[in-house]
Each structure stands twice: as C-alpha cells, then as structure tokens.
Chain A
Amino acid sequence: MLRELKAHFRYRLDDVFSRSSLSHFALLVLLSLVVVLIGMSAYFFGLFSPENADVSGIESKIDHGLWDSLWWSLKHLIDPGFFEENYGATVPVAVISLLIAIMGMVIFGILIGFISTSMETRLAALKQGNSPVKETGHTLILGWSNKVVQILRLLGRTKSGSRVVILGRPEITEMQETLRAAGIPGPPLKLILRSGSSSNLLELKRVAFERASSIIVLAGWTRDADASGRDVEAIKTAMLLSSFPWAETRPVLVAEVNRKQNADIARIAGRNQISVVSSSEIIGKIIVQAARQKGLSQVYSEILSADGNSIRVKHEPSCIGKRYGDIQFGFTQAIPIGISWRQEADGAARYAAGLNPEPDYAIDPDDQLVLLCAAEGTPYDAAARPHVSKIARTEKYRKAPLNRILVLGFNDNVHDILREFDGHVAPGSHLHVVSGFDDEEVRRRLDRYATRSYRNIEISFSAGDTVSAGFLRSLEPAAYDCIITLADESNDDDPDARSIMVLLLLGDILKSAPGGPRAHVVSEIHDPRDRDLVARTAAQEIIVSPEIVSMQLTQISQQPVLESIYRELLSAGGTEICLKPASRYVEPGAPCSFRDLQYSAQSMMETALGISLAGRPEGHGVILNPDRGETWRFGADDRVVVLAQEIYD
C-alpha cells in the first residue's frame, strides 16, 4: 500500500516536472505553504510563552496567536539568517526555527535554479530566432546552402539597404558563424535569421512570407543524400507557396532544384507560378558553352554578376514604332538585345521574351526593351540617326569542331553535362570520363537519372587517379580538343584542391606536347576564393558553379523574365552568345568603331555585344558594351561578342 502511494506520488511529481515552468513555480508555492504551516506549529510549542518573551526574533504585535505565528514562520522562510535572532528560545521553538530556516534555504535554492533555467531557455529561444518576423517587402531566402553567401553579396550590391530574412535548417549560431567567416552581414543589408523548415506553413508564417517582395527557395546541398533527394524540400515548399491564397500582390517566386528532371516536378508543384532553376542544368550548359567558345565564361561572369554589364528590362516610350535595328544606334551606354512583353496563356500572365529579333522589327507600345547595360536609366537619344558603316564586311565563319573531349572528375552534374554535349556536338564525337569511380559505379550513378541513349556522342569511362602524373600522361590529354576538370566528388579530398593539382600537372603535360598546348581547358570549382589559384594553372575558362547558380537565382528573383532569357541563351540550337573572329565583321587592321561592328552584325541578323581582345591579361580580354567613341584595330585573334542564332549541323 505504502509502496503504491509512493509510486503514485512519484508519478504525479514527474508529471508536474514534465509540464511548463509555470507548474514548477506552482509546486514551489505549495511547498513554501507547507513549510510555513510547519513553522506556524511552533505556536503550539510555546512560541509566545513567557520563556520566549525576551527573545528578539519572536515578536507578537498583532494577536499573540496565529497571525504572529504566520509572520514568524514566513520570516524564516524568506530569510534563513533570521534563525540567529532566536537565540535563547525554548528548545522546541529553536528546533522548529532551524527546520524552517533549512527548508527556506532549499526552497530559495530551487527558486533561483528555476529563474536561471527559464532565463537560459528564454535566451536560447531568442538565439534560435523563434519570434515572428514583422518585416514587409523583404527578400526571403528559404533554405540554407553554399549559395547563400553569394546571393547576399549580390543583394547587397543591387538592393543596398534592403531587408533579407533567411529561414534555414541549421542552428542560428551556425548560420551566423558561416556568414561571419564570409564577411557578411555587411552594412548594406539588414539580415534576419530564423531556424526551421521551409516546407512547414507555420514556419513560413513566422518569417512573414506573405508580405515578402521576393522569395528564393534553395535546394538542399548536404552530401548525405543524392541530388534528387535533396530537392524534396524545395519541391514541397514550391507546393506550399503555389497553393497559398495570395492577396492581390504576390511576391516574385524562384526555386532552385539540383536535378533537371526535378525541375519539371517543381514546375508542376509550383503550378507554373514559380520560376524554377535547375542548378545541374545551368552548370552543365555553362560548362559546355564555355568548352565550345573560348572567353565565354568571362562574358557570363560579367553578365550574371552585379559588377559591370547585366541584362535589364526597360520600357522606353520614345522607341515605340521604331525599328529594332535603328534603336541600336540611339543608345550610347546600352545595347538592345531583345524585347519582352506580357502574355496571357492558360489563364496565367507571364513575361515572354524574344532575343535578337530581326532589324526591321517595329517596337510595339507594350514591348519592353531587353538591354545589356551597366546601370539603370541608360539614356536613349531619339534623334540619333542609324549608323551606316563603310568598312563593314560579312565573312562566312565556321566554328572549330569539338570531336574529342576529356572530362576529369565526377560529380552530380555529369549527367547534364553529357546530355548537353550531345546536343552541341557533331555525330561521332567522343567523350571520355575519368574519375575515382570504376565503370560500373559510374554507370550505376548515371542510371539513377534514367539516362536515355545519346544521339551524337560516344561515351567511355575509366577509373584512375588523375593527380598521378604518370596516369594523366597515359591519357594523352594533348590529343583532345577540350579538357574539362570537374569539382570531383568521387573521393573525399577537397574538390577544388584536387582540381588545382590536376590542372598543374595538365599544364606541364600540355606544354611539353608536340606543337604546344592545343586543348581548350575548362575548369569547374566550388569555392570562389580558389579562382585566383586556378587562374595560374592551365585552365582557360573558370566556372565557379555555386556562384553561377546564385547569381542567376538572385537576378531572376528581381526580374522573372530573365528565367526564359537565360534558358534560351544557354540552350543548344537557339539564340546564343558567341565569340566570332573580328575579321568576319571588319577588315583586319582597319580602324573601326563599335558602331561599325553593330552595323555589320545586324546585316548578318546578329547583335554585337562587345569585343574580345587577344593578348590581354587573363580576365581582361572581354569588353562588353564598349565605349562608342573608341577606335579599334583588330588582329587575327581578336573576336567580336555577338548574339546570334546558332546553327548545329
């Protein structure tokens, strides 16, 4: 019976302790009350007897009864030091006094412990960022990956002073530490961090998603799941966002997924209200385009970054009714590269775009101009007359074939790179992939993406250690048209460090090859801080993959029409940015201006974007949107950057 009562009491006590801190305090009050009552029992042991009349701690100013006993007992509980004032009291009273003084110490100890614990819990909650965000018009980043830093840098440059809220899985302290190490937050942005899951509506409400001006959903990036698995949360978030009953104004929504095939699922989940960017597809396209065209990675680095020229959309009423070809000459600080308009389809409105339209295309009142320019508000001179060049020429040009390609390294983007190459190269081209994975493992990983057979390329795989000079030499890299080093995830090394070692060896091997280095070397790295190191190796094109994706996500979050523009620019068989020999447009060595190049390009249904000068230091050869007053004399290796419909045959 006693044991049962004891167990019951313990259960009740556990129950109380498992509840909120309020119940802890209630228990403490109850305990205090019991102690006070025990103290009051001193009344029955002669507390106010004549023997205790001279004791200084025993006062009887009210009723010499219960109230005075209560007062006496309470004083012991609140101040255990009061025991000392009972010196000379009768033994029973002194014993009770000692007992309640000890109990008082215990109760106050517990109270201080409770207060301290609740303060710590509260502070931890504040650090956790559990309080709801009260911002309006903020940029909301849902998810946490290695792209956050670059997105914040870009937002800092393009939307200085704006508020950015991040809802990520890691603890806030972990996010703060990462940002601090990267030099963020800087003064231009007000940054608010919250820890939680973006696929939970309550969590989304906590970060005021319905009042945001733009929302960027990031794909997961941990290596403990495959690329497809990492897209699940982004897809769930896209579903939540698209099914939310938005008020009149809806934020611009852009979501990143790792895999291209998941992009279609994300678009369906987002009910076509969300711009979806597949990081592996973008990286694959950029790598393949850079492999085909020397200098192209530099063009894209400038266009996608906030420094220099980028793509902006602008309504220019003074251009209405004019020919697209003529307005080229009315801008001195911008280059029109296309048009954009609002289009209704299937009950939804979207911005459509057309790049490099025919020169005789007449600008409509609802057309917006797609411009390549360095700043907003570029002036248009409506009185400017079309330029007629006397030195323009139209030479035929044929791109150098890309028949043999060597890929060193393996990561989740390989599948999209292979597929993209298949769309760009002539039938019979050969691509060889070398990585730490054996043939069987590579095929198993590629099969995961349900690969279809390739139409144009033959692919072979081999396993080997690419940082071994002997093995690398045995691959005969000099025999390839193009060599691509990927940020290799087939071993546990730092991918960039491995790439640098491979590139150093490669440079040495290519230099000693008969006839000198011939292959065009493209290198993908993960960390932008390694760019300078990689630039000192054999790499001619450097692609910092997380940077490229973050730049595109940030730009699309500010101008959704850029999604279709970038998709078109990077796809095989459409309008592309190309670098073609300057001799195609003007006589080599003849003095010419950028206007001459614009005129000449137009006559071949192309739009001139800039020039690429040979012999300049790495990273300084490409000049986009050049000064119209400058005169150039082009050599045999100089090129013109143009927007053109590419032919694949």
Chain B
Amino acid sequence: MLKILLVEDNEMNRDMLSRRLRRKGFEVLLAMDGADGISLARSSAPDLILLDMSLPTLDGWTAAKVLKGESDTRGIPIIALTAHAMQGDRDRAMESGCDEYETKPVNLARLLNKIETLTGSPTHP
C-alpha cells in the first residue's frame, strides 16, 4: 500500500482529497502546514508528498526546498497543489524542487496518473 503525505491547510480540501485517496487504497498521512509536513516526512518516510503551496507558517515552496535539500527526504516525489493556475506558478513550484504540479480543484484521474508515473506503482490496487 502506497503511503501518501498530504500537506494541506484547508480543512475541506484535506478531508475530501484524503477520503478519495483512501477509497483508492492509499494510506494517507495528514499535515496542516509546511513545518508539520517536513517533520512528518522525516519521521514517516512517505512514498509521495502532495504539497499545497499556500500554507500558513511555512509555505509550500519553502517546504519543498527544505525537503529536497535533505538526504533523507530528497528522494520522495512531491506533487505541488495550488489554485494558482498560471504558468509562472507551475515554474515556481518546479524550481522549488517539486516533481509535478496539479491545480485545484483536483482532477483525481489526472492526479492518479501522476502518482503512478512518479512512484512506478499502479494506482488502481
């Protein structure tokens, strides 16, 4: 079972996406801000991180840089989640170290394809 860390401050987005991912058979860990996300990534070594970019305390861009700068978490693929649908936002997320980019509202089928590509594991268990 793939372990996914979802870092998202919006309660409803967190509830909804985690529910959908669990229904697809993933184990989902939850964090509400960038600092919590980094700490959970270090301690639980997820297979993939879904990282919202507009987070309180420590934003997603900074969190991605921290995670990609540490040897223990560097190898974990990160998919950036944001409502900012501009090309500049995509580039900014990729520059901060994210491996993929997904706009909100999340299209689950598209997200599953990206997870499959990044982890190499089938997402239809």
Please tell me the size bucket of the interface on A.
20 to 34
Q: Which residue of A lies closest to B109 (CB)?
A: A360
The reply on A171 being an interface residue by CB < 8 A is: no
Does B13 contact A574, Cβ atoms closer than 8 Å? Answer: yes
> Which A residues are in CB contact (< 8 Å) with B108?
358, 360-361
When C-beta atoms are compared, the residue in chain B nearest to A574 turns out to be B10
What 1/0 flags go to B90-117 for Cβ under 8 Å of A? 0000000000000011111100000000
For A353, the closest partner residue in chain B by CB is B12
- Tell me the A529-588 residues at the B interface (CB within 8 Å): 564, 567-568, 571, 573-575
Which of B15, B23, B86 contacts A353 (CB under 8 A)?
Answer: B15
Q: A573-B10, A574-B13, A575-B105 are in contact. List 9 more A-B contacts (CB 8 A).
A: A352-B16, A353-B12, A357-B16, A358-B106, A568-B12, A573-B83, A574-B10, A645-B83, A649-B86
Contact residue range for chain B?
20 to 34
Q: Is the CB of B20 within 8 A of A352?
A: no
A575–B83 touching, CB < 8 Å:
no
A352–B85 Cα distance when bound, in Å, is 27
Interface positions of A from 224 to 277, Cβ below 8 Å from B: none
Type the 1/0 row for B3-15, where 1 means its CB is closer than 8 Å to any CB of A: 0000000111101
Residue pair B85, A647 in contact (C-beta under 8 Å): yes
| A647/B12 contact (C-beta < 8 A), A358-B107, A364-B23 known | no
**Interface flag for A356 (CB, 8 Å):** yes
The verdict on A355 contacting chain B, using a C-beta distance below 8 Å, is: yes
**Interface residue B19 (Cβ < 8 Å from any Cβ of A):** yes
Least CB distance, B98 to chain A, in whole angstroms? 18
- Sort A-B residue pairs by CB-CB distance and give the 7 closest, nearest first: A354-B16, A352-B15, A645-B105, A568-B12, A647-B83, A649-B84, A605-B105
**Does A646 sit within 8 A of B, measured CB to CB?**
yes
CB <8 Å contact, A341 and B86: no
A648 within 8 A of B: yes
Contact of B19 with A568 in the complex, beta carbons under 8 Å? no
* B109:A564 contact, CB within 8 angstroms: no
- In the assembled complex, A18 has its CB within 8 A of some CB on chain B: no
Mask, A451-468, CB within 8 Å of B = 1, is: 000000000000000000
Give the complex CA separation of A361 and B106 in angstroms: 11
Nearest Cβ distance between residue B111 and chain A, in whole angstroms?
Answer: 10
* Interface of A toward B, CB cutoff 8 Å: 341, 343, 352-358, 360-361, 364, 564, 567-568, 571, 573-575, 605, 645-649
Closest to A367 in B: B19
Give Cα A352 to B16, complex, Å.
8
With A358-B105, A647-B85 as contacts: A575 and B12 at CB distance below 8 Å:
yes
In the bound complex, what is the Cα–Cα distance between A523 and B46 (angstroms)? 50
Alpha-carbon distance A341/B105, docked complex (angstroms):
19
Contact between A567 and B105 (Cβ–Cβ < 8 Å)?
Answer: no
Distance in Å from the Cβ of B81 to the closest Cβ of chain A? 11
With a CB–CB cut-off of 8 A, which chain A residues contact B23? 364
Kindly state whether residue B73 has any CB partner on chain A within 8 Å: no
Q: Is B84 a contact partner of A568 (Cβ separation < 8 A)?
A: no
A575 to B10, CA, bound (A): 10
Alpha-carbon separation in the docked complex, A645 to B15 (Å): 15
Report B1-58 residues with CB < 8 Å from chain A CB.
10-13, 15-16, 19-20, 23, 54
Which B-chain residue is minimally distant from A340 (CB atoms)?
B15
Give every chain B residue within 8 A of A352 (Cβ-Cβ): 11-12, 15-16, 19
Q: A645-B104, A647-B84, A649-B86 are in contact. Are A354 and B11 (CB under 8 A)?
A: no
User: Can you list 19 A-B contacts (CB < 8 A)?
Assistant: A343-B15, A352-B15, A352-B19, A354-B12, A357-B16, A358-B105, A358-B107, A567-B11, A568-B10, A568-B12, A571-B10, A573-B54, A575-B12, A605-B105, A645-B105, A646-B83, A647-B84, A648-B84, A649-B84
A354 proximity list for chain B (CB < 8 A) = 12, 15-16, 19
- In the assembled complex, how far is the CB of residue A603 from the closest CB belonging to chain B, in whole angstroms? 12
Cross-interface CB contact of A355 among B12, B54, B83, B109, cutoff 8 Å: B12
Chain A hits for B19, CB < 8 A = 341, 352, 354
Chain B 76-89, CB within 8 Å of chain A: the 1/0 string? 00000001111001
Closest to A341 in B: B19
Question: Is the CB–CB distance between A361 and B20 below 8 Å?
Answer: yes
Give bound CA distance, A325 to B56, whole Å.
33
How far apart are the CA atoms of A647 and B83 in the complex, in Å? 5
> Once the chains bind, are A356 and B105 in contact (CB under 8 Å)?
yes
Q: How far is the CB of B60 from chain A (nearest CB, A)?
A: 13
Chain A residues with CB under 8 A of B84: 647-649
Chain A residues closer than 8 Å to B109, beta-carbon distance: 360
**Residues in A neighbouring B12, C-beta threshold 8 A:** 352-355, 564, 568, 574-575
Q: Distance (Å) between the CB of B1 and the closest chain A CB?
A: 20
**B85 closest partner in A (C-beta):** A647
Are A648 and B83 neighbours in the complex by a CB distance under 8 Å?
yes
Across the interface, which residues of A come within 8 angstroms of B105, CB to CB?
356, 358, 575, 605, 645
- What is the distance, in angstroms, from A346's C-beta to the closest C-beta of chain B? 11
Contacts of B54 in A (CB 8 A): 573
- Which residues in B have their C-beta under 8 angstroms from that of A564? 11-12
Please report the C-alpha to C-alpha distance between residue A360 and residue B13 in the assembled complex, in whole angstroms: 17
Min C-beta distance of B56 to chain A, whole Å: 11
CA A573 – CA B103 in complex, angstroms? 12
Question: Across the two chains, which residue of chain A brings its CB closest to B15?
Answer: A352
* B20 / chain A contacts, CB cutoff of 8 Å: 361
Q: How far is the CA of A341 from the CA of B22 in the complex (A)?
A: 14
How close is A395's CB to chain B, nearest CB, in angstroms?
16
Residues of B within 8 A of A360 (CB): 108-109
Please, which residue of chain B has its CB at the minimum distance from the CB of A364?
B23
CA distance A360 to B106 in the complex (A): 12
CB distance from A121 to the nearest CB of B (A): 54
Closest to A350 in B: B15
Complex CA–CA separation, A355 to B10 (angstroms): 12
Closest Cβ–Cβ distance, residue A297 to chain B (whole Å) = 23
